[in-house]
Amino acid sequence: MMVYPLPNCISNHFVSFFSWFCSIPPLSVVGLSEEQAIEQTKGDLLIFTSTFNPMKNTISGRQEKTVMKLVVDAETDKVLGASMCGPDAPEIIQGIAIALKCGATKAQFDSTVGIHPSAAEEFVTMRTVTRRVTGSGKPKTNL
């Protein structure tokens, strides 16, 4: 595992590091995990997830899936964390780390035009809440 501190973090102290794990496929994380957000925040959380077969895998016939997650503070709309497991995860999460360090909101993610075709565009097209986690830490699933 490689962990890179992000120096001089602004008021959003949740974005303190970006990490990636040497695996196939690669796994990368920035900010708070869902579990950390439940422990460290008082209000509700919105969890957005996506699982898909990237277009470059579809064309080649590979069945390797990509999994992504965004953790959002329901009250402030700030994105508290992001994770991805799939091809190009370290490069994509590095860009997400910049957005989180700047205090990006889910609305700002939603208003961003995705680069098509790329796996990265999924982070700006996740519109449906997978589940809402109440302040008590009990998830309410929308499935």
Residues annotated as part of the active site: 116
22 phi and psi angles, rounded to 5 deg: -70, 95
Alpha-carbon span 28 to 20, nearest angstrom = 4
Alpha-carbon span 3 to 73, nearest angstrom = 24
Burial of 123 (0-12, 13-18, 19+ CB in 10 A): buried
Cβ–Cβ < 8 Å for 51, 69: no
The label of the residue with tokens 């992001």 reads 82
> How large is the greatest C-alpha to C-alpha distance in the chain, in angstroms?
45
